[in-house]
């Protein structure tokens, strides 16, 4: 299998999607962030209130903005219509906060990068807003959980 963003002359470039069919495409990505007990202790009514504002709500907005700007952040991503972006932030055991981003489009190319950018943007915002409380937070992973539409489907499970 060859890399899709390298042409026959070994030069980088966008993939030509002009001949592909428009199909409904859905992708879900997840970021996990370990925040520590001091940050978890601030949870109240499903969010963390900080001097900068409600942390989870702000992270959801930032993640949505990141998903919308993916083609500006990743050099060879096509600008595609983002028809839906849903971000869910869930406190888990062991001081972990899970951020799940699901993006939908009807386009000629995938939506995976938008879901990954959305989850990442939300995780970075959560980190930024809580760093005064805990400087040892760690974004543990960001991964694609599932994608449907296009040539092939994928599921991490």
- 129 dihedral zone (left: phi>0; alpha: psi -120 to 50; beta): alpha
Q: List, run by run, the mean pLDDT of 10-residue segments along the chain (157 residues).
A: 74 83 96 96 88 93 98 94 97 96 95 98 97 96 96 91
pTM score: 0.92
| 128 labelled catalytic | yes
CATH for 44-149 is 3.30.70.640
Given 45, 84, 128, 153, the catalytic residue: 128
Cβ(33)–Cβ(125) under 8 Å?
Answer: no
The alpha carbon of 154 is separated from its chain's Cα centroid by a whole number of angstroms, namely 16
- How many angstroms separate the Cα of 97 from the Cα of each of 15, 21, 27, 58, 135? 35, 37, 20, 15, 16
Convert the pLDDT of each residue in 17-62 to its tens digit: 888 899 999 999 999 999 999 999 999 888 888 888 899 999 999 9
Domain boundaries, the chain: 44-149
Residue 79 has a CB neighbour count (10 Å cut-off) of 11
């Amino acid at each position: 299998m060859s890399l899709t963003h390298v042409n026959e002359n070994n030069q980088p470039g966008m993939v030509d999607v002009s001949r592909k069919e428009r199909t409904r495409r859905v992708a879900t990505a997840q970021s996990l962030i370990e925040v520590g007990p001091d940050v978890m202790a601030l949870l109240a009514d499903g969010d963390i209130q900080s001097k900068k504002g409600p942390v989870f709500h702000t992270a959801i907005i930032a993640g949505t903005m990141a998903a919308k700007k993916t083609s500006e952040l990743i050099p060879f991503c096509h600008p595609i219509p983002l028809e839906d972006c849903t971000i869910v932030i869930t406190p888990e055991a062991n001081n972990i906060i899970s951020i799940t981003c699901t993006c939908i489009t009807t386009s000629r190319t995938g939506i995976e990068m938008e879901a990954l950018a959305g989850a990442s943007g939300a995780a970075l915002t959560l980190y930024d807003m809580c760093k005064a409380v805990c400087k040892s937070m760690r974004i543990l992973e960001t991964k694609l959980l599932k994608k449907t539409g296009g040539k092939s489907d994928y599921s991490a499970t």
